[in-house]
């Protein structure tokens, strides 16, 4: 498997799945453009691991209107060509069923902006670029197990946003395969990132739900992303890959 000659934009790449994907894709030969919402120590660490300068990161707050369009435009201004895009950036939002409506409204608005609108805008820009070039491209959208089975009762906004990611991935995969524009989704369960339960009791409860006996490592998801970006199996376009230790088997 090789990514030699490919240039890949990865959102949310300062830590967790995004950083693991950036390292895996670069190790396979790709030129990686890494994105983060803002400068941070984590972004500097990932840049150093990639042999890049901190300023090589592309910074954009994906909660802002049209941020996805600006990000792809900035990437293309820097490199001229993208062969693949990984929509990894996301937020885990609460939409409480009780309490002030402000928290309810904020949870749904944040999930819609970062988890749906931004990746949709990035996909639109990438598809436009792939079409203009005429030789196709690949997009991997990071969804969640929650997009299939739901989430906690206070986190419906998050689950709904990830369900939307799955739906748009399938829609564009079906409609664009004949143009060699390939889309895949990955639906992780708990992964060893900031989103995973950190409280000891909560962690024990989460792991109890995973037949494999542990949460996934970010490197496992990164390896799957690199494989999908390689073009080794184009017929898998439209597929969703579950990485959840058999905690949700479809």
Give me the active site residues, please: 158
Return the half-sphere exposure (C-beta side, CA atoms, 13 A cut-off) of residue 180: 13
Cα–Cα distance, 217 to 243 (Å, whole number): 10
Residue 88's alpha-carbon distances to 142, 168, 206, 250, in angstroms, are: 5, 15, 22, 22
Q: How long, in residues, is the chain?
A: 250
Residue 100's contacts (CB-CB under 8 Å, 6 or more residues apart) are none
Q: Structure tokens of 168?
A: 């748009």
Cβ–Cβ under 8 Å, residues 108 and 211: no
Tokens (6 digits) for 120: 């949709």
CA distances from 145 to 109, 160, 161, 241 (A): 21, 11, 12, 10
The answer to whether 168 and 233 have CB atoms below 8 angstroms apart is no
């Amino acid at each position: 498997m090789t990514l030699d000659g490919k240039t890949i934009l990865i959102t949310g790449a300062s830590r967790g799945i995004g950083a693991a994907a950036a390292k895996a894709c670069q190790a396979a030969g790709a030129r990686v453009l890494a994105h983060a919402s803002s400068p941070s120590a984590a972004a500097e660490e990932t840049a150093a691991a990639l042999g890049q300068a901190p300023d090589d990161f592309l910074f954009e707050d994906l909660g802002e209107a049209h941020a996805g369009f600006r990000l792809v435009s900035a990437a293309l201004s820097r490199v001229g060509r993208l062969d693949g895009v990984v929509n990894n950036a996301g937020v885990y939002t609460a939409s409480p069923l009780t309490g002030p409506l402000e928290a309810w409204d904020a949870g749904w608005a944040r999930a819609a902006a970062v988890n749906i609108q931004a990746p949709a805008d990035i996909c639109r820009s990438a598809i436009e670029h792939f079409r203009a070039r005429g030789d196709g491209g690949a997009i991997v959208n990071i969804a969640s197990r929650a997009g299939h089975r739901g989430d906690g009762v206070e986190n419906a906004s998050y689950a709904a946003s990830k369900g939307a990611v799955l739906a748009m991935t399938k829609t564009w995969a079906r409609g664009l395969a004949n143009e060699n524009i390939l889309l895949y989704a990955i639906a992780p369960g708990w992964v060893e990132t900031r989103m995973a339960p950190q409280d000891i009791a909560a962690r024990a409860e989460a792991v109890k739900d995973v037949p494999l006996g542990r949460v996934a490592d970010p490197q496992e998801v990164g390896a799957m992303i690199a494989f999908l970006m390689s073009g080794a199996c184009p017929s898998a376009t439209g597929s969703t890959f579950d990485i959840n230790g058999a905690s949700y088997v479809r």
